[in-house]
Amino acid sequence: MPVKNRRTLARERLRRKYRPTHVRLLFVGEAPPASGRFFYQGDSGLYRAIREAFTTTFPGIPQPDFLESFRDLGCYLVDLCREPVDRLTARQRRKTWFESETRLAALLERLRPQVVITVVRSIVPSVKRAQERANWPAPLRELPYPGRWKRHQVAFLKQLVLFLRRNLAPTTSVRRRTGAPTSREAIKVQWRPKALVLCMHRRRKRQ
């Protein structure tokens, strides 16, 4: 098996290890970076940015076990493209986005997330088309990519923290870490996205 294929399979096995039983919040990135870094390896800039947003919102989340906490909260991250695209030309990159929409649609249909969050604004049209193909109109939130520029990192953190605070039910509780409990023992969160609640309320009224 070619090295490239082995790396892809290894990435996807690692990703599936952290897939929640029920996906409440689905983050969608563009693609794994060509550098070999990966969100679920805990060594990418995107990993650090998302971890900072969650630990800012929930100070009780144990940072060394963040990926487990992320999963236990019903959160999952997938990529539009299966292979790295950051070394392609702009035209090749757009072509790969378009060709990857069918795969993302299948993922949406299978995972059925309550909310979808894109972490790269340039892929939003592809994500919207994938949602249409999957017939899964979950609320879509767009975030700026927290790249190398400080202002982008600050904007990402501010917007994601605000989203998490506004879209969790009042019953949300996160116990502070005492005696080094596991992430499952330390965190209890109930997600109640406002757009989803409003949609459910309208459906009940029609009935």
The pLDDT tens digits for 28-49 are 999 999 999 999 999 999 999 9
Number of domains in the chain: 1
pLDDT band at 100 (very low <50, low <70, confident <90, very high): very high
Tell me the pLDDT tens digit for each residue of 57-96: 988 888 888 999 999 999 999 999 999 999 999 999 999 9
What range defines the domain where residue 74 resides? Answer: 3-206
Of 88, 92, 108, 99, which is closest to residue 126 (Cα–Cα)? 99
pLDDT of res. 200:
35
DSSP state of 64: G
Enumerate the β-bridge partners of residue 111.
none
**Residue 142 is encoded by which pair of tokens?**
């767009």
Domain containing residue 192: CATH number? 3.40.470.10
Instruction: List, in sequence order, every beta strand (DSSP E) within 40-125.
Output: 75-79, 115-118
Token pair listed for 187: 């965190």
